[in-house]
Amino acid sequence: MPVILTLLAALIATGACAYHRSSLRTWAIATLATTMVVGLLAHAPLTMLVLLLIEAAIALPLLMLGLRRRRISAPLLRLFARVTPTLSETEQTALEAGTVGFEGELFSGKPDWHELLKQPKPALSEEEQAFLDGPVEALCGMIDDWQITHELADLPPEVWEFLKKNRFFGMIIPKRYNGLGFSALAHSAVLQKLATMSATVASTVAVPNSLGPAELLLHYGSEAQKEHYLPRLAVGEEIPCFALTGPYAGSDATSIPDIGIVCTQLVDGVQTLGIRLTFDKRYITLAPVATVIGLAFRLYDPEQLLGGKEDLGITLALLPRSTPGLQIGRRHLPLNVPFQNGPVHGKDVFVPMSTLIGGPHMAGHGWRMLVECLSVGRAISLPSNATGALRGAVASVGAYARMRKQFGLAIARFEGVEEALARIGGLTYATTALSRATAAAVDRDEKPAVPSAIAKYHATEWGRQVASDVMDVLGGKGVQLGPSNYAGRSWQGVPIATTVEGANIMTRSLMIFGQGAIRCHPYVLREMQSLSIADRDERLKTFDRLLFGHLGFGLSNAVRSFAMALTGSRIGDTAGDAYTRRYYRKLGRYSAALALCADVFMGVLGGKLKFKEKLSARLGDVLSHLYIASSMLKRYEDGGRPEADRPLLAWAFHNSVWQMQVALDGAIRNFPVRPVSWLLHVLVFPLGRREVPPSDRLGRRVAALITAPGEARDRLMEGVYLTPTANNTVGRMNALLPEVIAAEPVERKFAKVLKSGRFKSRDYLGQLAEAEAAGLVDASEAALLRRVREAVFEFISVDDFDADELRALKTREKAPAATAGGAAP
C-alpha cells in the first residue's frame, strides 16, 4: 500500500500540473517534492528513491535546453520537415487570409471566458435604427412577394427605384463616397428584416453589399477607381455583379479555366497595353441588370510585358457592361426565387490594364483578395437572410399553431407539433446569437474566416430544418401557393442558401476544421512557419520552444478532458452566474476534448487527414457548436441574463452539446488506427456518452413561449416586419394573436355547452346565437368568438386560381381557346 500511495501521489501531482498548465520547471519541483513527502510519510523510502531517480532522469534532460535541443528537438525537426505536407498556393493563401478571434480560445482547451464577455455589446447607432424604422419599414410595406415571384419574376420598378434612392446598395460604402457607412450589425439587421418579407428582395440587397465590386474596391481599389465607382454604386447608378463560377470551376475556384493574356492592341489609334479575356461564367447574381461586372480569371503574360513570370495567377478586373465582346446571357431561374441571375460570356475581349482592381501591381493577387473579402461577406449575407427567415417562422407558425384547431384543440397542444415548434424556437435562438456574433466580429475589424464558414453552414442548414418544420405544421396551408402563402417560396428556395458561397457539403467537410485546425491551433501554424526560418540556430530554438509547448499543451488537454468528463464538468473556476456556470464548464470540457482529438488526429494521420473528410467534418461540427454555444451565452449575458429566455437557451445549449458528443464519438469510433481510437475513447468518454438531447418537458416550454405574446418571443421576433398591412399576412396574424388567446377559455366554455345537444342549429354561428339567447354565453363572449372565428378564417384559408391564371404568359398567348369540356379543339 505505501508503494501505491507514493506512486499515486506522483501521478496526481503530474496531473494537477498538467491540468493547470504549469511550467516544466514547476512540474519537476512539484512532482519531486510530492514524491519525497508522501514517500517519507508512507514509510516507503525505496519506492521514493526509485521514483525520484526516474523523475530526475526525465526532468533534467528536458530542463537543460542545450542538451534538449541537440538530442531531442533537432532529430524531431528533421522528421517534421520530411512529413509536413507541402501546402498548395491555394491553401497557403487561405490560411494567411483572415484573422483569429475567440474561436482560437475554443481550440485552446482552456477558453478564457472573460475574453468573450469583455467584448463590447453590439448595438445599432441612432442613425442605423432610424434607417430600419424608416426606409426599411417603408420598403417592407411596398413588397408583394407573390407579384415578385409569380407575376413579374422581378422587383417592380418602384421597388428598384426606392432601393437606389435610399442607398440600400451602399450600406458598406463609406459616407465620403456617398454611401451609408453602416456597421456590419446594421447591415445584418436590414437583411434580416427584408428576408421576413421576400427572399428575392433580401438577396438583391445582399449581393452589392457582400462579395463584389464595392467590397473589393474598398480594400484593394486605386483611389481613381474608388472615386469613379463607389459614389455611383452607392446610389444605384451602377449595379454590380461578380463573375467567379463557371461550368468547369465551382467550389474549386482556383482551377478556373477563364484566362486573360497580357498583350497590346491598337485602340483609337493608340497602342494600348491590356488583356485579352476569354471567359464563361454562370450563376452570376445581378448579371442580367448589372452595369459593371467584376471578373475573376487566370492571367498569363507570355511576352512578359509586365516584367514578371508568365503565369501570374488569379486576377480580378472590373468591366463596364458596354465593353465590346462582353455578353450577358439569358436569365437563370433559381427555384422560383427570381432574383436577377444569369451567365456572362466573352471571347477575346480586350480591356486596358486600368480595369484591374487596384491596378497592374495587383495582378495575380486575386485569390487572396477573394478569400479575405469572402470571410467578411459570408459572415453577413447568408447568415442574416437565414436568421430573418427563422425569426419570421417564429412569428408566423407560432401564431398559426395557436389559431388552427383540430379535434377541438389548438394544434400547438399536440406533442408532434410541439416538437417541431420547439425546434423552431431553439434553433432560432441559436441562429440569432450566431449571426450576431459574426457581425460583431466584423465590426471589431476582424476577418473571421472560420466563424464565417461556421455561420454560413449552420444558419442555412438550420434554415433548411426550420423550413421543413414550418411546412409540417402548416400542412395543406403551406402547400398551396398563392398571395396568402408566406412559407412556400422559402421552402422552395432553401437549396439556394445551402449551395451558394461555398456548398454546405464542402464548407462542412473541408473548410471549418480544415482552416480551424491550423489557423486556430496555438502551435501548428507557427511550427509549420518555423521551417521557413533561414537561420539554422534560430530555426532550432523556435521549433524547440514550440515543440515542447505543444507537447505540454497536448498532455494538459488529455488530463483536462479526462478529469472534466469524470467529474461531469463540475470542477474549476469559470465565468457566468449560478444558472450558466455549468454551461461554461461543459464547454471547457469539450474544448479540451476537441484540442486533444485534433492533435492526435493530425499527429497520427499527418497530411492524410485532409483527405479524411468525414473525420474533418465531425471535428468541424465540434468547433462549430463550441462557437455557437459561446455566442448564445454572450447573447444571454449582453441581454442582462433574462430569466424568460432560459428555456430557449437551455434547449439550444443542450442541443449543441449533444451534437458535440455525437460528432466526437463518431470521429473517435471511425479513427482508422484502432489502439489510438480506444485510448481516445477512454480519455474523452471515460463514463460513456452521458449527454442527451433536449427533453420533451423543455421542448414544451419552448413551444409555449413562441405561441403566446411575451418578452422572450418578442426578442426572437426582433426585426421582423409585423406592421399589420394588407401585404403582410404574418403581421395581421400576430396582431390577432392576443384575441385568439383571450377567446380560448370562452371556446372551452362554449364547447361544453355544445355537448348538451340542446341546439336546433347545425352550424357554428347559429349554435352560438342560440347559446347567447339562452344566456349560456354573454354578449361580449359571443361577440369575441364571432370576431375571432371570422378573422382566423382568413389565415387558415388557401388561394385558388382560374386555370388560365396559372399558364405562363407565352403559353397563354399561343394556346388555342379551350372548349366547354376543357379540351382544346
Catalytic residue positions, numbered:
501
Pairing of strands 292-300, 259-267: parallel
DSSP string, 178-233: TS----HHHHHHHHHHHHTT-HHHHHHHHGGGSTTHHHHHHHH--HHHHHHHHHHH
Cα–Cα distance measured from residue 357 to residue 367, given in angstroms and rounded to the nearest whole number: 12
Other C-beta atoms closer than 10 Å to the C-beta of 812 total 11
The strand pair at 311-320 and 327-328 is best described as unpaired
- Cell numbers for 121, please give them: 455589446
- Three-state DSSP at 807 gives coil
The closest of 774, 755, 700, 705 to 408, measured between CA atoms, is 755
SS (H, E, C) 328-368: ECCCCCCCCCCCCEEEEEEEEEEEEHHHECCCHHHCCCHHH
Q: Do residues 614 and 671 lie in contact, with contact meaning Cβ atoms separated by under 8 Å?
A: no
Burial of 99 (0-12, 13-18, 19+ CB in 10 A): middle
Distance of CA 167 to the CA centre of its chain: 26
**Rounded distance, CA 772 to CA 782, Å?**
7
Q: What cell was used for 609?
A: 487527414
| Cα distance between residue 769 and residue 760, in whole Å | 11
d(CA 477, CA 311): 57
Cell of 762: 347545425
Q: How far is CA 660 from the centre of its chain?
A: 17
Q: Are 200 and 149 in contact (CB under 8 A)?
A: yes
Length of the chain: 825
Q: How far is the C-alpha of 478 from the C-alpha of 141, rounded, in Å?
A: 23
Measure the CA dihedral 727/730/736/740, to 10°.
140
H or E, element range at 243: strand 240-243
Q: Residue 722 — φ and ψ, nearest 5°?
A: -115, 5
The DSSP-derived string for 49-87 is: HHHHHHHHHHHHHHH-HHHHIIIIIHHHHHHHHHHSPPP
DSSP 402-450: HH-EETTEEGGGSHHHHHHHHHHHHHHHHHHHHHHHHHHHHHTT--BHH
User: Alpha-carbon distance 561 to 569, whole Å?
Assistant: 9
CA angle 203, 209, 212 (to 5 degrees): 100
On whether the CB atoms of residues 492 and 338 are closer than 8 A, the answer is: no
381 phi, psi to nearest 5 deg: -60, -65
**Distance (Å, whole) CA 602 – CA 359:** 41
Cell numbers standing for residue 571: 470542477
